[in-house]
Amino acid sequence: MKLSRSLLPLAGLSALLAASCGTAGDVPPPPAPKPASPIAAALFGSGSKDEGERLFGQECAFCHVGKSTGAMMLGRRLGKDKAELIHRTDLDADYVKAVVRNGLMNMPAFSRVEVTDAELDKIAAYLARKKS
């Protein structure tokens, strides 16, 4: 079986970035939930029935849940309400996939060995679940 291509051209990534990184509108964002402890962050998604959540917990949570480098840098760039990916309502699955495969700023790219295309589909669907 050959893995399908899920890499997006960088031009596409830029467009998606612009679409997904806009600031919030006039409605004030709800207060950010209390960040998870380091142990809770390391165990995020453990035992979840949602495979996307479990895979997110396994591959991404250590940089994106609780007090973490990804959450910190996203908070600085986009505002605290957008710091933790699990609370985002503006993430598009294709955008998530493009960032994972290409990397973004200091987030390294993930290879198709580390996270297969099938696994990435599930992680992206999980992160995009709240998109209105």
Partner 1 sequence: MASLLPKGVGSTGFQKALAGFRAAIGNQWVLDSEEDRASYIDPYAMGDGLDHDCSAIVAPASVEEVQAIVRVANEIKVALWPVGRGKNLGYGAASPAEKGDVILDLSRMNRVLEVNDKQAYCLLEPGVGYFDLFRHLKENNHPLWMSVPGNSWGSVIGNALDRGIGYTPYGDHCEQICGMEVVLPDGSVVRTGMGAMQGSAGWQAYKYGYGPGWDQMFMQSNLGVVTKAGVWLQPEPEMTAKIELALPNFDDAAWAIDILCDLRRRDVIQHNIVFGSPVRAASTMSQRADWYDGPGALPDSVSETMMKKLGLGWWNAKISLFGHEGTVTAQVDLIRKLFEPKLGRPLEFELWKKGDPEEKSAQGVPTTMGLQCVNWYGGRGGHLSFAPVLPQDGTLAFNYAKKIKAYYEEIGQDYYASFTIGRRHINNVSLILYNRDEPEMVARADKLYRHLLAEAASQGFAEYRGHISYMDAVAETYSFGGGALRRLNDKVKAALDPNNIIAPGRNGIGTRR
Nearer to partner 1, 63 or 127 (CB): 63
Identity (one letter) of the amino acid at 72?
Answer: M
103 binds partner 1 (CB under 8 A): yes
22 binds partner 1 (CB under 8 A): no
47 binds partner 1 (CB under 8 A): yes
Query: Which tokens go with 75?
Result: 């908070």
Query: Which tokens go with 71?
Result: 């959450």
Total residues in contact with partner 1, by rule CB under 8 A: 32
Measured CA angle at 104 (ends 8, 31), to 5 deg: 115
CB-based contacts of 85, cutoff 8 Å, min separation 6: 56, 60, 64, 65, 70, 71, 74, 91, 127
Nearer to partner 1, 37 or 89 (CB): 37
Applying CB under 8 A, the residues found at the interface with partner 1 are 1-3, 5, 7, 37-39, 42-43, 46-47, 58, 62-63, 67-69, 72-73, 76, 101, 103, 105-106, 108-114
